[in-house]
Amino acid sequence: MKPFKPHKGIVVPLDRINVDTDQIIPKQFLKLIERTGFGQYLFHDWRFHADGSPRTDFVLNQQRYHCGTVLLARANFGCGSSREHAAWALLDYGFRVLIAPSYADIFYSNCFKNGILPITLDAAVVHELFEEVVGNEGYSVQVELANQAIRKPNGGEIHFEIDQFRKKCLVEGLDDISLTLQHEEKIRAHEKKLHPFQLIDIKR
């Protein structure tokens, strides 16, 4: 997992509440065996008509947001099923930061495990951001995880709270496997006691 560095990106406003994981990545696209390749199917049923043509009224199909990497959403984002593919699809599409008033618990956890920073802000602050983004084409922010701050184009700052362990994992690029390998010597010693003649290669 790539370490999270200060990130500057155009903000994409997805003005919908209760966006569930089946809308983020519909179930018919869960057949890929790798974590990559899901970005093309992100919000598929909202992005495309039945014949495959793009829906011009959907935010991701609007030219001003084509290079967006910060997704602004409403409350309860990522609800529904617990599929980790939702985080994979968002990351593969190019989103590195999410901003919303609240998230579904499992989805929230999956974001951190895959290198996405889900920022939680008060609903009133999120609403103000929506107005600023929609009213100013090319609206971008710089997100500094180390300082827990969002820097706006006008020079203003929004500070956010985050669990310090999760912050450390993102800053250092540590996923579950990387965290486990930090204890490799202890694991090997334990395995040697249990299986003195059969050491397990935990890196395989």
Q: Tens digits of per-residue pLDDT, 154-177?
A: 999 999 999 999 999 999 998 766
Asked if residue 182 and residue 147 are part of one domain, the reply reads no
Asked if residue 197 and residue 111 are part of one domain, the reply reads no
How many domains are there within the chain?
2
The number of C-alpha atoms within 13 Å of 30 and in the hemisphere containing its C-beta is 15
Greatest alpha-carbon pair distance for the chain in Å reads: 67
Residues of the domain holding 87: 7-162
Asked if residue 118 and residue 40 are part of one domain, the reply reads yes
Asked if residue 72 and residue 36 are part of one domain, the reply reads yes
Asked if residue 180 and residue 148 are part of one domain, the reply reads no
Phi, psi of 9 (to 5 degrees): -160, 160
Which position has the token pair 């999270």?
Answer: 4
**Chain centroid offset of residue 10 CA:** 15
pTM equals: 0.87
Span 77-123, pLDDT tens digits: 999 999 999 999 999 999 999 999 999 999 999 999 999 999 999 99
What gap in Å lies between CA 77 and CA 68, rounded to an integer?
18
Asked if residue 188 and residue 149 are part of one domain, the reply reads no
Q: Is 167 a domain residue?
A: no
pLDDT at 182 over 70: no
